[in-house]
Structure 1
Amino acid sequence: MHRVPSPDTEEVVRPGRINPPALLKARREWVFFGTLWKSHPGLTALWWALILLQGVLPAGFVVAVGALVGAIADSAPLVPPLVLIGTVFVLMQLLTPLHTQVGSLLGEHVSDRLHHRLLVAAGAPEGVAHLENRAHMDELAAARDFDLGMTGPPLHLSMGFIAGGLVEAVSGLAQAVVLAAYAWWAPLLVGGAWLSTHWLLRESTRWDRHTGEVLDAQRRAEYSYRLAVDSPAAKEIRLFGLASWLTDRFASERRTLVELRWHTTRLRQRPMRWAVVVLTVSGGLFFWSLGRDAASGAVDLGQVSTFAYAAVGAGALAFGGLNWALSLAADGVASVLRVERTMSSSAEARSVVSGGAPAEGMPAAEIRFRDVTFAYPGMSAPVLDGLDLTVPAGSSLAVVGGNGAGKSTLVKLLCRLYDPVSGTIEVDGTDLRDLDLESWRRRISAVFQDFIRYELSLADNVAAPGATPEEVLEALAAAGAADLRDLDRVLSPGYENGTDLSGGQWQRVALARVLCSVSTGAGVVVLDEPTAQLDVRGEAEVFDRVLEATRGCTTVLISHRFSTVRRADRICVVDRGRVVELGSHDELMALGGAYKRLFQLQAARFDDDQDGADSAG
């Protein structure tokens, strides 16, 4: 599989020319080991030093045992070889747990560094299209999950497996070198035979984790797992008896991952047979020669012991080296670096269409959507199709329409989470793309239909940058949440002294977030279903408070509740991505079109509900 070089190590490899240094640096293993060094040079140097020391010790042990056997055979003093054996043995016992701890710490440092880079990369593009692009989502899934244990051990555990493979390789090499004391050809014959297994069986464990099929299976397994262990779905899972179904589903999807790995692992019988032949012939030749020389007295008993153990120990060359754990860890690192490069290019592309004009004080006259067309990535049909709309500065506009009409898309474009495919959005006659993005977003405050419930303190949930505690409390009072005054209380029952809120309270907190931003300079307010979780009385009360607190702001409201909508200065009816009606509540009722039909339908349903409640009472 072609591997994309890391941006940290990328070099140009021109077609038709072989550039060994560039090819080496492009390998994922090189990138991985380079990432270790950049994450913590001290721990990395210690980790490598322990690999070398642990790898050499078995060869030292073999030599010491041979010396002991020779001393016994020759009736020589036993203390020196015994001391050597004891010293090597103690070091082997002590270095293993030490190496495990060093590797675990190094893995944590690497993980922290990569997660930090991933967060920075994912947040670099100013819009959200990159997070909804299928190709980008696959890369993000692979990068995000590299350390979660979904497709391999977490990095702090992988470091132990990787170190174990490298220690085995050094150990095998060191013991092969010991054989040079017997004959110059011995390390080449024995060591070369064991090394050949890496080439003969090179296809036996190759698995591409980045195919769409694998990533889809991984994403489904992760989703089932999170549904089962996270609290938001807990009520429905228990109410509908879905626990067993969800467990079986997760097990099935994890089994799919295992099967995909099994089927894409190419284990060939012929290479296996060749490996057995090579090892049998090489081992047979060496031990035949060693036995012949032992019989003739060319080597003594201690040397026979040393060389025999060393020949067997050289087998570590076959099992050591760049193992499966390194492959998985290197894939994860490469995924993070690819995401970093992809997000960087997305950010650069976005910066091309972002101007530098300040947005302070805007809009002073109007916001205008001029022939705006927009389609989401991967969709052929446009959501907005030549939409024209003018919002006078300082006024309130309600946007209504059926599901999929383009209401929420309109406000996403206004917030510059996306840009139009064609047409322009103008603020006081200036194309929105010509305004400095940060400056414009400081002028906007929004509560979205799927607003976030931050598991942070009440103050952190409400406070805009630069807001004082007094402004936070005023915003809460204006949103009808004056009873929430403990700004340091964490809004999650998972923390000590933490608490949870009802749906209506959370909605008031989200509205307070908007009002707090208004107090610190926002002049455009976007309300996407701002009172969906409030009852009718609470809705009317809160919306009147919001309108009062945002007086003088340009407000865009999206709501299905016409009791709220009718309070706006003007109402816009959107259908199939176009404005079909525009006017005040009274004007649209007099027009007798789509708005009147929708209003009367909702009013009739409300009257029926109210009559039913009165009868029940």
Structure 2
Amino acid sequence: MAPPLAPPPASLVSRLKNAGSLFKQLPGTFRLFWQSGPRLAVILGLLTLVAAVLPAAIAYVGKLILDGVVAAAKGGGDPALRSHVMGLVGIEFGLMLVSALVERSLSLTRELLRANLGNLLNERILAKALELELRHFEDSDTYDKMQNARREASSRPLSLVMQVFTIARNVVTLSTYAALLVSLAPWSVAVLVVASIPAFIAEARLAAEGFRLYSWRAPEGRKLNYLEWILTRDSHVKEVKLFGLGQLVLGRYRTLFQKFFNEDRALALKRMGWGLGLGILSLGAFYGCYAFVANRAASSAISVGDMAMYLAVFRQGQTAFQGILSSIGSMYEDALFMSNLFAYLDIPTGSEQPRVLPPLKPPHGRNNAIELRDVSFKYPGKDAWALRHVSLTLKPGQKLALVGENGAGKSTLVKLLLRLYEPTEGSILYGGVDLRDMDVEDLRSRFGAVFQDFVRYQFSVAENIGLGHVPALEDRNRIVRAADLGGASPVITALPQQFDTMLGGWFEKGQELSAGQWQKLAVARAFMREDAEVLILDEPTASIDAEAEHALFERFQALAADRIAIVISHRFSTVRMADQIAVLHNGQVEELGSHDELMAKDGRYAHLFHLQARGYRD
């Protein structure tokens, strides 16, 4: 459950201290910005500078035009004075054309940078995901960091950079305006500044609340997405219809959405209240200045052109100053979101790296034994042991079956063998080398595996199989052999384009398969690694019939004749083919031996075997 919103900092000083720490995100953000397009970054800077000086120039030329019109009218329509006015109009027209061109160019440059920067960051996020280990994906805090980073990656970095450019632009513009206002009355500059400060305070405070609101929503936002997933995915629709889950799930969706809506509404109302109050203050300051300037003009202390220029400059200067403060507030919010991105990118990894450099490499071949020496393991953040004091030795060519109730530690042991996790205590050796001293890619390249929760890739049949050994993805002969070994050939032959048939329902012309057919493709994928030294089958026959299961294991026994093979299965017809059977209970090896030895022992294995056999007889 998301934590409650913390109160905003109590004072302006504390808010500014907090903001200062967050602006440390700026250097990293600007590095990303520069890397996304150095030439475009330079162009953006030059265009911003030109756009900053144009408003004051246009306002000054406007004053000259108005004063020129008044002078020409008093001069009885002197052609020279009229020509001068027309020339000034032409200059202002040219300046407006340049302004329009600059604004369009700025918009184009921003869009190009947005695309480049968004793509760069998405690549960085995905590349980081490749570095993460299984423990990260099974940790909700890490997952929330990833989702927060992904959610804002396409907009926040550029927004933060653009706010900096906007501040620079408004500072230059405001400097030119201030020079003009000082000639009217120095205090008018102070009024312009003071009337805008409260807006900044409000923006900074509300930005912090908005960040906390959206960031801490991540766990509940994931729940909202999951409820939507239940009602929209084909894998859930049968149970939703059968058990009448629709209204229950939809009701929970509505409740959670209403909670989000109420939070958003409260923040929006607060923004409106502050905005209205500060808008009135700003308007009052403007009209106070308006009255002063109008009185000066009425008493002939300044010209009509001066009056028009001062009013335009004060209004636009007020807008520019408020823009600076608003940009600082937005930068604060953007920097908060950037802290999420950098927190994700800085997640420490590297436990997969070998303890010794260069890493040790057992000789390639099928003569390496696997040895577990007093291995114990508990998942991060958990107190209970998933495995405890497990010692096993698997010799080349030996077949080991793992049996036990759900949660006994069977799949956990496989995760340790593949170095998806590392033992909390003890060690695992491969060919006499501790797995932690091996290069993880070299280690995993020696294994072929099919898991119970295998992936159904929304790719072609050939790719679904070929992904088992990426270097051979284009080797159709090898893919065909793997399909034969996995028992998938009859399934493929019946498909419209056979190996070139697109699978799944996500994309156009995708062909959906039954669970058993998908599983045969997953088994074939495992057999793509023809040179694998170890084969792991985690419930490989859960979705196929008994005849297909028997055929699969006949092929499996032939393929694994000289390899180590590890089988996890609840079907004892499969298990009894193994040389050794390890019975796991509460994370410990309770029994170990062949089928005949364990039946003679008449312990847990024999009890489970008789229960299953009785079910078949009944």
| Same-fold status (TM-score > 0.5) | yes
1:570 pairs, out of 580, 586, 594, with 580
The aligned counterpart of 1:206 is 208
User: Structure 1 residues 275 and 239 mapped into 2: Cα distance closer, same or farther (>3 Å)?
Assistant: same
The aligned counterpart of 1:516 is 528
Partners in 2 of 1:370 and 1:479 — Cα distance? 33
The Cα shift of 1:196 comes to 2.0
The Cα shift of 1:401 comes to 0.2
Which whole-Å deviations, capped at 9, do the CAs of 1:558-607 have from their partners, x for residues lacking one? 01111211222221110011111122222222222111221221222223
The aligned counterpart of 2:406 is 403
The Cα shift of 1:498 comes to 3.7
The aligned counterpart of 2:183 is 182
Contact 1:446 1:526 survives alignment (8 Å): yes
SS of structure 1 residue aligned to 2:471: coil
Matches within 5 A, 1:184-583: 185=186, 188-201=189-202, 202-207=204-209, 209=211, 213-237=216-240, 246=249, 249-257=252-260, 259-260=262-263, 279=282, 283=286, 286-316=289-319, 317-320=321-324, 321-322=326-327, 326-327=331-332, 329-342=334-347, 345-347=348-350, 350-352=353-355, 356-361=359-364, 364=367, 366-463=369-466, 464-467=469-472, 468-483=475-490, 484=492, 486-517=498-529, 519=530, 521-583=531-593
User: Structure 1 residues 434 and 527 mapped into 2: Cα distance closer, same or farther (>3 Å)?
Assistant: same
The aligned counterpart of 2:71 is 74
Amino acid at match of 1:207: E
Contact 2:354 2:436 survives alignment (8 Å): no
The Cα shift of 1:392 comes to 2.1
Partners in 2 of 1:182 and 1:246 — Cα distance? 68
Partners in 1 of 2:46 and 2:277 — Cα distance? 35
Contact 2:240 2:246 survives alignment (8 Å): yes
The aligned counterpart of 2:10 is none
Partners in 1 of 2:54 and 2:445 — Cα distance? 63
SS of structure 1 residue aligned to 2:42: helix
SS of structure 2 residue aligned to 1:552: coil
The aligned counterpart of 2:116 is 109
Amino acid at match of 1:128: L
Q: Is residue 611 of structure 2 the alignment partner of residue 601 of structure 1?
A: yes
The Cα shift of 1:488 comes to 3.8
The Cα shift of 1:348 comes to 6.1
Partners in 2 of 1:192 and 1:143 — Cα distance? 36
**TM-score (normalised: structure 2):** 0.82
Contact 1:365 1:428 survives alignment (8 Å): yes
The Cα shift of 1:375 comes to 0.6
Moved more, 505-514 or 181-190: 181-190
The aligned counterpart of 2:130 is 123
Partners in 2 of 1:208 and 1:239 — Cα distance? 41
Return 5+ residue gaps in structure 2 as ranges.
1-16, 73-80
The Cα shift of 1:179 comes to 3.0
The aligned counterpart of 1:9 is none
The aligned counterpart of 1:11 is none
Amino acid at match of 1:578: Q
User: Structure 1 residues 431 and 29 mapped into 2: Cα distance closer, same or farther (>3 Å)?
Assistant: closer
Partners in 2 of 1:189 and 1:30 — Cα distance? 32
User: Structure 1 residues 105 and 55 mapped into 2: Cα distance closer, same or farther (>3 Å)?
Assistant: same
Contact 1:190 1:282 survives alignment (8 Å): yes
Matches within 5 A, 1:34-113: 34-75=31-72, 76-77=81-82, 78-113=85-120
The Cα shift of 1:531 comes to 1.3
Moved more, 562-571 or 261-270: 261-270
Which whole-Å deviations, capped at 9, do the CAs of 1:227-269 have from their partners, x for residues lacking one? 4555544554566565665555445434434555677899699
The Cα shift of 1:388 comes to 1.9
How many residue pairs get aligned? The number is 578
2:24 pairs, out of 27, 49, 62, with 27
**TM-score (normalised: structure 1):** 0.82
Partners in 2 of 1:564 and 1:55 — Cα distance? 77
Contact 1:217 1:256 survives alignment (8 Å): no
User: Structure 1 residues 419 and 24 mapped into 2: Cα distance closer, same or farther (>3 Å)?
Assistant: closer
SS of structure 2 residue aligned to 1:205: helix
Contact 2:36 2:120 survives alignment (8 Å): yes
Contact 1:360 1:443 survives alignment (8 Å): no
SS of structure 2 residue aligned to 1:204: helix
Moved more, 311-320 or 185-194: 185-194
The aligned counterpart of 1:614 is none
Partners in 2 of 1:58 and 1:385 — Cα distance? 74
User: Structure 1 residues 280 and 515 mapped into 2: Cα distance closer, same or farther (>3 Å)?
Assistant: closer
User: Structure 1 residues 418 and 493 mapped into 2: Cα distance closer, same or farther (>3 Å)?
Assistant: same
SS of structure 2 residue aligned to 1:555: strand
Contact 1:107 1:155 survives alignment (8 Å): no
Partners in 1 of 2:292 and 2:150 — Cα distance? 55
Q: Is residue 146 of structure 2 the alignment partner of residue 144 of structure 1?
A: no
User: Structure 1 residues 141 and 268 mapped into 2: Cα distance closer, same or farther (>3 Å)?
Assistant: closer
Partners in 1 of 2:360 and 2:315 — Cα distance? 74
User: Structure 1 residues 256 and 502 mapped into 2: Cα distance closer, same or farther (>3 Å)?
Assistant: same
Which structure dedicates a bigger proportion of its chain to helix? 2
Partners in 1 of 2:541 and 2:107 — Cα distance? 54
The aligned counterpart of 1:151 is none
Contact 2:23 2:335 survives alignment (8 Å): no
The aligned counterpart of 1:586 is 596
Partners in 2 of 1:45 and 1:295 — Cα distance? 48
User: Structure 1 residues 248 and 309 mapped into 2: Cα distance closer, same or farther (>3 Å)?
Assistant: farther
Moved more, 487-496 or 40-49: 487-496
RMSD: 3.7
Partners in 2 of 1:56 and 1:248 — Cα distance? 56
Return 5+ residue gaps in structure 1 as ranges.
1-19, 149-153, 609-617
The Cα shift of 1:279 comes to 4.8
SS of structure 2 residue aligned to 1:465: helix
The aligned counterpart of 1:16 is none
SS of structure 1 residue aligned to 2:566: strand
Contact 2:580 2:593 survives alignment (8 Å): yes
Which whole-Å deviations, capped at 9, do the CAs of 1:210-240 have from their partners, x for residues lacking one? 6874322232233334445555445545665
